[in-house]
């Protein structure tokens, strides 16, 4: 009888290990990492479009050196930042990433405002194609950011609510992750008008 009781107790403990949220937290962390991968991919996609865009604009708007320079510089800054899954766990790297991308966004939107003054450029099929791609990319970034934030929020909740918080402090030691903050200019994708 005693052996039986011990066995049952052991089984209950094993079952409650999954009940205490250990797996849940791991799952949620992986979800955050996956969502972060999408965010990076979307930003990378934008970065890849920049050189073509700069080339096309240069051909028509030679006088806008400063604006073009700003875009190229912002791109360089974004490229110099070490990205990767570890950014998610490092608040400092995360805010660095966010700042770099935000300055990229604002440089880009300035460029697109400048472009309005050049009807020839706006009529150029190449440029219009780039605009469509840029627009699509900005939208992807938006979607990826929203989903990342949602994954982070789910993760942060899961390490704070009751039975999980004990497991976390005893076993996992996971820290809450940073979410994207909406900021002026970056929150809204630059409006690309035809």
Interface positions with other proteins (CB under 8 A):
2-9, 11-13, 15-16, 18-21, 24, 27-28, 38, 42, 129, 132-133, 135-137, 139-144, 146, 149-150, 153-154, 157-158, 161-163, 189, 194
Give the shortest CB-120-to-other proteins separation in angstroms. Answer: 19
Kindly give, in sequence order, each residue whose CB lies less than 8 Å from that of residue 180, ignoring residues fewer than 6 positions away: 98, 145, 148, 149
Nearer to other proteins, 96 or 142 (CB): 142
Spatial separation of the C-alpha atoms in residues 17 and 68, rounded to whole Å: 57
Give the shortest CB-14-to-other proteins separation in angstroms. Answer: 9
Give the shortest CB-168-to-other proteins separation in angstroms. Answer: 14
Spatial separation of the C-alpha atoms in residues 49 and 71, rounded to whole Å: 12
Nearer to other proteins, 33 or 77 (CB): 33
Can you say whether the dihedral through the CA atoms of 192, 52, 187, 41 is positive or negative? positive
CA angle 49, 34, 90 (to 5 degrees): 90
Nearer to other proteins, 124 or 136 (CB): 136
Give the shortest CB-94-to-other proteins separation in angstroms. Answer: 18
Nearer to other proteins, 5 or 173 (CB): 5
Alpha helices in the chain (DSSP H): 2-19, 22-60, 65-80, 91-115, 119-123, 125-160, 162-167
Nearer to other proteins, 21 or 108 (CB): 21
């Amino acid at each position: 009888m005693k052996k039986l009781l011990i066995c049952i107790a052991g089984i209950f403990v094993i079952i409650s290990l999954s009940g205490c949220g250990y797996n849940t937290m791991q799952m949620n962390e992986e979800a955050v990492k996956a969502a972060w991968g999408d965010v990076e991919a979307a930003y990378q996609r934008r970065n890849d479009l920049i050189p073509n865009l700069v080339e096309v604009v240069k051909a028509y708007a030679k006088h806008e050196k400063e604006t073009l320079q700003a875009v190229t510089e912002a791109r360089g800054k974004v490229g110099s930042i070490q990205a990767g899954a570890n950014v998610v766990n490092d608040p400092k790297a995360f805010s660095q990433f966010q700042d770099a991308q935000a300055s990229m966004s604002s440089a880009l939107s300035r460029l697109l405002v400048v472009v309005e003054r050049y009807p020839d450029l706006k009529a150029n099929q190449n440029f219009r194609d780039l605009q469509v791609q840029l627009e699509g990319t900005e939208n992807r970034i938006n979607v990826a950011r929203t989903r990342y934030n949602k994954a982070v929020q789910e993760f942060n909740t899961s390490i704070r609510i009751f039975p999980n918080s004990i497991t976390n402090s005893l076993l996992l030691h996971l820290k809450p992750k940073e979410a994207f903050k909406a900021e002026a200019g970056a929150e809204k994708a630059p409006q690309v008008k035809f």
